[in-house]
Structure 1
């Protein structure tokens, strides 16, 4: 975790309050906690080691990264058995002895790698971008190696994304606070923690990032990105009213900043709609998506993740409404079936979005059965047969 708590009593410190160890920068809420931690908490034995590692924040990042890599390799062990890393061509990493991972849309024998190799690849790519003063899309594509597979161009998910988030943070944490790679690394860490469902830890990162960017005078676009991520974390933690308030601010801000058809605005729209759905504001969610889905299809295409998410939330807002008619359920079924088929082709059958969409579709089929689905005019049996023929790993 980014160090925003007292090492002795865990009291919240924010980014600047409290007291630091003069040798290793471990943070405390005051002299009493610092003394207690030295005498009873083991800091007397760790202080020099932490300093040699680069200080408390760097030491913590290194430790968290090592643990995250172990978790990721263990989670992927069955899928990666008998394979080799496409970067170093070895089964076990020559230095760390870590196992392989694969959490993207690669098929067959492609895409197996060590987190350390992926991290080194990303580090080199970003270093080249910095050396050549790249910006815009060229910079984004290089930075994207921290969270996106270079082979299939799909984002990593699950514990692999979390491990790469820690890899990114430990790589750039030692840079100046206003240095862009360090700011980007904080965002990458928050995203990785959130994807791995470590929401409480992600919240601390998001709040620290927002406070820091406001203090540094970041531009509106950057602030909106952090607010959007913070809203997601609020929603995952069940703080839905706070999430909805931020979603509304972010969507409105995006419309004013870049217009309704911009990719950033469309992403904000699907996030806003998902929170409306979570709070049972079904009609409002549908109204927003009826306006934005056609824009996403036109600007981003049918295969884009934002378009797929929009169509899924639209279907959910149709059939989740207690006032839904059989026609509504039939439209939801058709939309989910088309979305699931496209997502499976693009992302692979094991991707969390695909698994969740197909699970929801099965539940809708049961609901249609209970309400005499034949009246919708939809061939429910054919859809069910297709669903039952699928397995989570199918492409």
Structure 2
């Protein structure tokens, strides 16, 4: 994670408190912990190594990346047997000897790769965009290679998402925080940590990102992006009221800035509705969704992830509400069947969203059956 804690006692330091080792920048809450770490914690032996790696933040990123790649390759081992990397065409990476991964929506023999190859591909594309001063649109398209598969265009999930997140962060952490790639990298890292359910670590990253954006005077739109991600992490950690209030603020901020039909506004509405459902505030969620659920497919398309998530949330509202009628329950089942079928076609059966959709479908059928319907 971003180094925001004392290396000895784990006191939270944020981005500015405490002191650093003069050689390698390892952080401490004060001289007592620094002295203890040198004399008892082994820092006297590691300090030169950390400095040689580029400092404490870079050393930590390199270490976490190596660990994450090992975990991802092991998690994908059964799926990747007998396959080769679509980038380097080898089974084992020639240099790192790492195994293959696949954490997107590719199926069959497509999409297998080494995390190192995915990272190198993204690094080269972004470097070319920077060197040739390409347009923002082209830069954004190339930057997407850091967290989306170039074949299926879907975001990496699970342990693969985490490994790619660390790859991105270790690539740009040494740059000035005013450089856009470093700012983008901290966002990719936070998303990767959340994807692998490392939510406490993701929280540290998200909070550090928000503090950085505010300190640098980022635009309102950029601040809203970070707040959206932070709210999602709050929700994962069970801080539900805090998450809901932040999602509400983001939604109205987007509505004011961009209008109801902008992609950012629709995404914010989806997140706000989801947080209301978690708190069982079904009436408010239903009212919000009815305003935008017809607009979303027209703007984003029938198979866009946000369109599918919005339909999923609306169906959940219909069958979870204790005041639901038999007609509501039947509608929920029908919507979830259609949405699950589409999501499976787009993302594949193993995708986390598809797994959760199928769970919701079972729940809606059980609710309908309990009311004497045809579950």
TM-score, L = length of structure 2? 0.99
Quote the offset at 1:149 in angstroms. 0.4
- Could you tell me which residue of structure 1 aligns to residue 101 of structure 2? 101
**Distance in structure 2 (CA, Å) of the matches to 1:297 and 1:89:** 38
Correspondence 1:12 to 2:12: yes
Tell me how far apart the structure 1 counterparts of residues 234 and 363 of structure 2 sit (CA, whole Å): 27
How far the C-alpha of 1:137 sits from its partner, in A, is 2.4
Q: Give 1:352 deviation, angstroms.
A: 0.7
Counterparts of 1:1-395 in structure 2, within 5 Å, are 1-374=1-374, 380=375
Kept in 1: contact 2:319–2:367 (CA 8 A): no
Deviation at 1:171, TM superposition (A): 0.1
- What whole-Å deviation, never above 9, does each CA across 1:2-35 have from its counterpart, x for those lacking one? 1000001100000011000000000000000000
Secondary structure at the counterpart of residue 323 of structure 1: coil
Shift of 1:300: 0.6
CA distance in 2, matches of 1:241, 1:136: 36
Once residues 58 and 370 of structure 2 are traced to their aligned partners in structure 1, the CA distance between those partners, rounded to angstroms, is 57
Distance 1:371 1:5 in 2: 53
> Alpha-carbon deviations, 1:167-195, whole Å to 9, x = none?
00000000001111000000000000011
Structure 2 gap ranges (5+): none
Write the distance in 1 (CA, Å) between the matches of 2:133 and 2:307: 33
CA distance in 1, matches of 2:297, 2:88: 39
Q: Deviations over 1:330-361 (max 9, x none)?
A: 11111101100110111111111011101211
Tell me the secondary structure at the aligned position of residue 294 of structure 2: helix
SS of equivalent residue, structure 1 residue 277 = helix
Three-state SS of the structure 1 residue aligned to 2:108 is coil
Classify 1:136/1:296 alpha carbon distance in 2 versus 1 (closer, same or farther; 3 Å). farther
Measured after TM superposition, the shift of residue 325 of structure 1 is 1.1
Report if the CA contact (8 A) 2:340-2:358 is conserved: yes
1:268, distance to aligned residue in structure 2 (A):
0.5
Alpha-carbon shift at residue 134 of structure 1 (Å) = 2.3
Take 2:254 and 2:364, find their aligned partners in 1: how far apart are those partners?
A: 34
CA–CA separation in structure 2 for the residues paired with 1:57 and 1:79: 33
- Measured in 2, the distance between the counterparts of 1:294 and 1:218 equals 33
CA–CA distance in 1 between the matches of 2:321 and 2:358? Answer: 19
**Runs of 4 or more above 3 Å deviation:** none
Give the CA deviation at 1:273.
0.2
Residue by residue over 1:199-226, the C-alpha shift from the partner in whole angstroms, topping out at 9 and shown as x without a partner, is 0000000001101110110011110000
Distance apart, 1:36 and its partner CA? 0.3
In structure 2, C-alpha distance between the alignment counterparts of 1:137 and 1:245, rounded to whole Å: 32
Matched residue of 2:293: which SS?
A: helix
- Structure 1, unmatched stretches of 5+, are 375-379, 381-395
Q: Please give the alpha-carbon distance, in whole angstroms, between the structure 1 residues aligned to 2:246 and 2:369.
A: 38
With the length of structure 1 as denominator, give the TM-score of the two structures. 0.94
SS of residue matched to 1:175:
coil
| Structure 2 SS opposite 1:306 | helix
